[in-house]
Amino acid sequence: MQQCIVNELNKASEGDATSFAVSKKEEVERIAASAR
């Protein structure tokens, strides 16, 4: 479990698209841009 969290934090800090947080951020930004 700890290793999963460490991996996720590393991916997010690198802006890796395989990170859940980064992919979710990009999805929200894409939806917001289309709503404008």
3-26: per-residue pLDDT in tens? 999 999 999 999 898 999 999 999
| Full domain range(s) for residue 12 | 2-34
pLDDT for position 17: 87
pLDDT for position 11: 94
* H or E stretch covering 16: none
Cα 26 to Cα 34: distance, rounded to the nearest angstrom: 12
Q: Which tokens is 30 given?
A: 């894409």
Q: Provide the domain count of the chain.
A: 1
Q: Give, as one character, the DSSP assignment of residue 17.
A: T
Q: Is the pLDDT of residue 2 over 90?
A: yes
